[in-house]
Amino acid sequence: MARAISSPPSTNRSHRNNMQKINRREYGLLLAGAAYSLGSEPAQSKQAPSPRRPTAELSAASGIRFQQFDDGAVPRTVEDKLRDNVSAKDFGVVGDGIADDTKALQTAFDHAAANDVGMIMLPSGKIRLTGDIIVAPQVRHSGIESAQIAIIGRGAGKNATWLYFEKGSLRVRSSSHLLRDFRVTSRAGDGIKIEPGSDPDHSSARGAMENIRVENCGGSGITFEDCWCYRMDNCYARFNKGWGIEGKAGPRTGLSVNVIEISGGEYQGNGRIAGARKNKGGSERGTGGGISTGRCAQFNLRGVTIEGNVGDGLKLAEQSRGIAVDGCYFEKNGSHPENRDICNDRPGQSVNGPNSVFVLNSNFSPQSANGTVQERAIDLWDVIDLKIVHPQIYAVAADTLYSSEPIRIRESVPARARGWVEGGWYSSAKYTQKWIANETQCFGFPRKQTFSPGLEMKVESESVSSQNYFVRVSPTCARGVDVDLVTRPDGAAGTARLTRILRRGPTGTRFSTTSFDIDHPSALDSVYTQTSSASDKMPGTHVEVQISRDSGHENDRLRSSLYLQSVEITIYEGRISTT
């Protein structure tokens, strides 16, 4: 006979009502704030319990009911309650590292997909697997995607949940999923593959990983293919022979991932070199490494550690864009001087270079391999809109410095590269004056500011036909300056004579003067004029530009007012050295 379990007294009316029901034997059992009852009055027999009954008899005993402690709660059978979530152990997963759990785990995932089960719990222990495990999309009978599946382990550390693939990978095709709290190893292949399913009606993956650890795989740790949007929090990929994370172009979109955000975590010791895997000092450049983006639309790294990889730290693919590296730590990446912390290969066409790359407040420390130090931290080709703000160029030891300028920007087509470098901290005097190698045709990386003054420059009124434009700049970078103008005459055609005065640094300490003629063939049309660039490299705290009309000059033949519609000041920051 089921017996009531006493509970501390309470003034809560609902709780008192439930206790009264228990005392009347309307409930048979009280556990953790919920009540269980028997469908009929139990017999008063005191016989010893019978041995375990067959499944049919257990099903017949489904009269045991469950109800939460609340006046609005409804009773359910215990069987129905226990089916809310599924444990892989329900399907025979052992997790002792000896039994082959491949069939049992696949059966559990297939059951979840067919029945819209929201969560599968993985037991602790080493779950030995000898083939691929496929997480299929959650579908109803109509075949339309319906729900997210969450695969939850008992932790990713020692003695927790460990999916150990002797062959195969965890292949996630569910387009809405959460992976959390477990570890994966694949001796012969990639650890986790986020990939599209075979059904074209199912959209590409939208998912997340939390506290996932992928280690010692024969291929890459985690791969993405045709993924739409993804989030990774506090995940680790270490000591894999490929990449820690590898983006692969998918057959549907050509993207590895459309949008991904990776927060925290560590990507360490990945990659390989020809010959012995354990020797990081090799004569050949290491392959694989920390993270390879693949082609993407937005790739965000925040507070991520990328260190000790045999290959490159972060590699940007062709046609990748929207790369944001914020507060990340790069240290000792590369088995060869040509390995980099952040880099890309020279694209087949310059238009395929990375676009919109932002590196903010990140740390870079070099690797010394067999006595040959890493050449550079950042080495990029054909980048449009590159911004590097406050990089920390740090030496682990006094004799371990980057052998060349830590940052190099190159272009395969003149004037392709654009962007700027601002601020920064350098732990050695080696970098204070020459830490950027700018191998581009521009002065550096333009930063533009536009003014729309609408100033009227009248005939024979030079004293009232000038205006100053003031732009503050970082004092840590040398720079060149371009000033471009848009002007329009007021009802007459002709040539106007203008003068540009450029001042730098503290007011009046450095300046240059350039005069030029602007021809206006039409009486009302605007004309765009590019003035010659200032070729000197003078540091300072601000740039001041003054534009005036010299209407008394013999070359000024415009017999009407001239409107200064726009002034565009381009400051080329980061031009420290040119190789």
Report phi then psi at 150, rounded to 5: -110, 125
Identify which has the larger pLDDT, 124 or 572. Answer: 124
Asked if residue 562 has pLDDT above 70, the reply is yes
Identify which has the larger pLDDT, 534 or 393. Answer: 393
Asked if residue 395 has pLDDT above 80, the reply is no
CB 376 within 8 A of CB 330: no
Distance, CA of 535 to CA of 558 (rounded, Å) = 31
Asked if residue 158 has pLDDT above 90, the reply is no
Q: Would you state the structure tokens that stand for residue 385, as one six-digit string?
A: 């809109």
pLDDT of 193 = 96
List Cα–Cα distances, 367 to 98, 275, 334, 375, in angstroms: 41, 20, 7, 9
Asked if residue 578 has pLDDT above 80, the reply is no
Torsion of CA 101, 103, 104, 109, to 10 degrees: 120
Residue 482's CB is within 10 A of a number of other CB atoms, namely: 19
Distance, CA of 168 to CA of 187 (rounded, Å) = 8
In 231-251, which positions are buried (b, 16+ CB within 10 angstroms) versus exposed (e)? bbebbbbbbbbbbbbbbbbbe
Least confident window among 70-74, 133-137, 341-345, 555-559 = 70-74
542 burial level (CB within 10 Å; 0-12, 13-18, 19+): middle
Residue 282's CB is within 10 A of a number of other CB atoms, namely: 17
CA torsion sign, 499 to 502 to 508 to 513?
negative
Q: 């944001």: which residue's tokens?
A: 324
pLDDT tens digits along 255-268: 999 999 999 999 99
Residue type, 570: T
Bridging pattern class, strands 562-573 and 479-489: antiparallel
pLDDT tens digits along 494-505: 999 988 888 776
pLDDT of 486 = 92
Asked if residue 186 has pLDDT above 80, the reply is yes
Q: Name the pLDDT band for 172 (thresholds 50, 70, 90).
A: very high
pLDDT of 147 = 66
Distance, CA of 258 to CA of 229 (rounded, Å) = 6
In 125-154, which positions are buried (b, 16+ CB within 10 angstroms) versus exposed (e)? bbbbbeebbbbbbbbeeeeebebbbbbbbb
- Dump strand ranges (E) for 74-226: 76-77, 86-87, 96-100, 119-121, 125-129, 133-135, 149-152, 161-165, 170-172, 176-186, 192-194, 206-215, 222-225
pLDDT tens digits along 103-128: 999 999 999 888 878 889 999 999 99
Q: Would you state the structure tokens that stand for residue 180, as one six-digit string?
A: 């959390």
Task: Give the H/E segment covering residue 534.
Answer: none
| Averaged pLDDT, 526-538 | 68
pLDDT of 238 = 95
pLDDT tens digits along 61-104: 456 877 777 778 888 887 777 777 789 999 999 999 999 999 99
Three-state DSSP class for 204?
A: coil
pLDDT tens digits along 48-71: 444 444 444 445 445 687 777 777
List Cα–Cα distances, 512 to 206, 444, 467, 552, in angstroms: 56, 20, 16, 21
Q: Would you state the structure tokens that stand for residue 565, as one six-digit string?
A: 């519609």
- Count, residues in the chain: 579
Residues 6+ apart with CB under 8 A from 382: 346, 347, 350, 351, 352, 353, 354, 410, 411, 412, 413, 416, 417
Q: Is 443 left (phi over 0), alpha (psi -120 to 50) or beta?
A: alpha
Asked if residue 10 has pLDDT above 60, the reply is no
Asked if residue 427 has pLDDT above 70, the reply is no
54 burial level (CB within 10 Å; 0-12, 13-18, 19+): exposed
Asked if residue 433 has pLDDT above 60, the reply is no
| Averaged pLDDT, 513-517 | 88
Asked if residue 522 has pLDDT above 70, the reply is yes
Residues 6+ apart with CB under 8 A from 444: 420, 421, 438, 479, 480, 572, 573, 574, 575
pLDDT of 277 = 39
Average pLDDT, the chain: 78
**Chain-centre distance of CA 160, in angstroms?**
27
Distance, CA of 525 to CA of 565 (rounded, Å) = 12
Measuring CA to CA, which residue among 199, 264, 189, 244 is closest to residue 226? 199
